[in-house]
């Protein structure tokens, strides 16, 4: 209504243009904000933000890579393709590795070994686990934790898959068993997965060790300190890989 008391009428065409302009401006603003949020990771509460690093050879121009250490002491690595298909692969490595602490090189090496997944457009995240040694539930918790860190930093993927290699297959199976009910994972890929448990999965190595000693009698030699063969070598052994191959050659003619 204007000063004369008459109702002011906006022609439909002009009103439509004004409305379209406002709507277009709002949409552009939303798209810009969405693009920025997809590219720039948001710092997770209570966890330090992962640090950018150089990607492995072959991925330098295809992805952005990060590394960090979680609250449990486990190092991890993350790769986000520049042309991300929206899906995430959470990797559970095999082994288990030795050592009391977490090895930062482990997750970086796994990223390079499985770079084909990143090359195909999948984001990738892998934990080095908080310590070495056999601990399936511990490793499963660390694997789930790196998934959570990814979500906190980059948002929820369209789909999430857990991949377990060798002993990591045992870890990935435990991830599905314990955390799959929460709907966090859409599928699992187990490659050479050790699913029979620790004893059944590794006792064959003890069998081979016993058979070798039965026939060769040189590891240890009768003149050397004796020890349970399940140990592989006695804890104080100074035998090198070269020395071990020499004994294998001595008995079998092959090394």
Asked if 200 and 177 touch (Cβ cutoff 8 Å), the reply is no
What stretches of the chain show up as alpha helix (H) in DSSP? Answer: 12-39, 104-113, 115-119, 136-154, 167-179, 197-216, 241-252
The pLDDT score that the predictor gives to residue 46 is: 64
Could you identify the residue written with the tokens 């040694």? 133
Per-residue pLDDT at 42: 37
For 238-252, what is each residue's pLDDT tens digit? Answer: 999 999 999 999 999
Residue pLDDT, tens place only, 11-58:
333 223 333 333 333 333 333 233 323 323 333 456 788 999 999 999
Residues facing 88 on adjacent strands: 123, 160
pLDDT for position 39:
28
The arrangement of secondary structure in 51-191, i.e. its CATH architecture, is 3-Layer(aba) Sandwich (3.40)
The residues, any chain, with a CB within 8 Å of residue 212's CB and separated by 6 or more, are: 219, 251
Select from 138, 131, 126 the least CA-distant residue to 175.
138
pLDDT band at 255 (very low <50, low <70, confident <90, very high): confident
Instruction: Dump pLDDT digits (tens) for 153-200.
Output: 999 999 999 999 999 999 999 999 999 988 899 999 999 998 887 778
Say if residue 64's pLDDT is above 60. Answer: yes
Residues 6+ apart with CB under 8 A from 149: 44, 47, 50, 68, 70, 76, 78, 125
Residue spans of the domains in the chain: they are: 51-191, 198-252
Dihedral sign from CA coordinates of 82, 85, 88, 89: negative
Q: What Cα–Cα distance (Å) separates residue 221 from each residue in 74, 213, 215, 225? A: 41, 9, 12, 8
**How confident is the model at residue 5, as a pLDDT?**
39
What's the pTM? Answer: 0.70
Omega within 30 of 0 (cis) for the link into 98: no
Which residues, at least 6 apart from 53, have a Cβ–Cβ distance to it below 8 Å? 65, 66, 67, 77, 108
């Amino acid at each position: 209504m204007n000063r004369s008391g008459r109702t002011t009428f906006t022609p439909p065409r002009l009103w439509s243009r004004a409305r379209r302009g406002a709507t277009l401006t709002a949409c552009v603003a939303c798209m810009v904000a969405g693009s920025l949020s997809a590219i720039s990771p948001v710092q997770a509460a209570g966890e330090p933000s992962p640090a950018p690093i150089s990607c492995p050879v072959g991925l330098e121009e295809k992805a952005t890579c990060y590394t960090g250490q979680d609250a449990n002491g486990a190092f991890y690595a993350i790769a986000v393709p520049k042309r991300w298909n929206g899906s995430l692969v959470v990797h559970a490595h095999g082994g288990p590795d030795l050592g009391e602490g977490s090895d930062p090189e482990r997750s970086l090496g796994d990223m390079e070994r499985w770079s084909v997944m990143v090359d195909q457009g999948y984001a990738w995240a892998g934990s080095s686990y908080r310590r070495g040694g056999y601990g399936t539930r511990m490793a499963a918790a660390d694997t789930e934790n790196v998934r959570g860190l990814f979500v906190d930093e980059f948002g929820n993927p369209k789909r999430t898959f857990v991949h377990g290699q060798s002993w990591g297959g045992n870890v990935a199976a435990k991830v599905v068993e314990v955390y799959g009910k929460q709907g966090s994972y859409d599928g699992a890929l187990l490659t050479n997965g050790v699913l029979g448990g620790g004893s059944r999965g590794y006792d064959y190595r003890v069998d081979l060790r016993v058979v070798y000693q039965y026939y060769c009698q040189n590891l240890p030699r009768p003149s050397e300190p004796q020890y349970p063969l399940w140990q592989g070598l006695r804890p104080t052994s100074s035998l090198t890989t070269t020395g071990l191959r020499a004994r294998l050659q001595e008995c079998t003619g092959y090394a």
